[in-house]
Amino acid sequence: MQSLRRLIIHPRFLPGVYVLMALIASIQALLLPPHMFGGFPYTEYNNYVIFRQSWFHLLDGRNMYMLFPSEQWDLYKYSPTFALCMGLLAHLPDYIGLTIWNLGNALALFYAIRMLQFNDRIKSLMLWFVLLELLTSVQNAQSNGMMAGLMIGAYACMQRGKIAWATLWLVIATFIKVYGAIGFCLFLFYPGKVRFIAWALLWTILLAVMPLAVTSPHTLVWQYHNWTTMMAEDQSVSYGLSVAGWLHTWFGISSGKGIITLLGLFLFLLPFIRFKLYGSELYKILMLSSMLIWVIIFNHKAESPTFIIAIAGVVLWYFSASRQLWRSLLLAVVFIFTCLSPTDLFPPYFRDHFFIPYTIKAVPCIMLWFVILYRLMTLKKEAVLPQHFLAP
């Protein structure tokens, strides 16, 4: 038994687990038959099809942010730069392109967590805990594993003083999903702020103009206008698995999403007034945890596959302090009602009539975020990360 335990937490064993998970998810999506909707067949990996097709729409100078029902279900919601990068996969057969895409998402989060300051045993436990939620994201060919990896990786690079890399990861995250920009808040805790701003501007300009390699300046400006218009219109059409969705389904509050978001932003920024803690490693890891959860629970478009980002924040919170019964119980609640809620562990009737209608997946993360907020506002200057959790 001890040998098995040592094996499953061994740092050389886990990469194979993550690769195998991505391969199985890809094969499963490729083998499942398409769904018919509106007279059109849509694959199980429709999100990857959207990403792939964005490259061809960019090349053709078509509005990437309109519906193409004969090709894909749902809108493309990322930047023109992301569409350009998808050109690296778009001409490959789907069984190759999808597999590379899923591997990239799985390994981005894997190596980001491996970069953290915790010891190998703790990082292995973290990686096991997030694996099921990552599988949910990868099965949907989503980009959320990559987003979580980029945001955590940026923090890890800041810890090492690698400002150029940290800013590059954050700019890439922003060009994938705009909420990645919230990671720039972390630069307040580190020296070299002028260099940080300079690198961020440089990477932003470079990535913004990269699509000029395949399109004209006028068309690129038009595409960016289309992107911002689509996001503004998209803001009002759903509640998602979020605080707004929870208030709507539990209490019938169907208006004021903007107020909820502003209040959430105020609460997120509130711990930044604790300037004397900016040098505290515990404070910084808790702020990273808060950020990863916040971008999901206050996102009106949050859906089940996006929660890998929040779960990464949850596991950082858990290992920011020594084990206590109440913390372990709260972690178990998150695992059962967030990670396991979309699985076959619960009967379909229970999922369809309880978990989904009442946004149950989001509720434990909402509760835990307020626990983190309270911890941040009451944190003592002398509080530190558990030394036995850290790398020697």
pLDDT per position as a tens digit, 339-366? 998 888 888 888 888 888 899 999 999 9
Residue 5 lies in a domain: no
Is 313 inside a domain boundary?
Answer: yes
CA-closest candidate to residue 23, choices 102, 108, 137: 102
pLDDT at 7 over 80: no
DSSP one-letter code for 64: T
Distance CA(205)–CA(240), nearest Å, equals 32
Task: Work out the average pLDDT over 199-204.
Answer: 97
pLDDT at position 188: 95
- How confident is the model at residue 110, as a pLDDT? 97
Q: What confidence tens digit (pLDDT) does each residue in 56-107 have?
A: 999 999 999 999 998 988 899 999 999 999 999 999 999 999 999 999 999 9
How many distinct structural domains can be found in the chain?
1
Least confident of 109-123, 228-242, 284-298, 338-352: 228-242
Q: Are the CB atoms for 120 and 11 separated by under 8 Å?
A: yes
Asked whether residue 291 is domain-assigned, the answer is yes
User: Quick check: is 50 in a domain?
Assistant: no
pTM here? 0.95
300: confidence class by pLDDT, cuts 50, 70, 90: confident
Give the pLDDT confidence score for residue 295 in this predicted structure.
Answer: 96
340 located within any domain: yes
Lowest mean pLDDT among 31-35, 84-88, 114-118, 128-132: 31-35
Note down the domain range covering 276.
235-392
Establish if 267 belongs to a structural domain: yes
Higher pLDDT, 311 or 3: 311
Grade residue 237 by pLDDT with cuts at 50, 70 and 90.
Answer: low
Residue 149 placed within a domain: no
The DSSP code for 238 is: -
Task: Mention every residue, 6+ apart, whose C-beta is less than 8 A from residue 120.
Answer: 9, 11, 391
Asked if the structure places residue 82 within a domain, the reply is no
Percentage, residues of the chain above pLDDT 90: 81
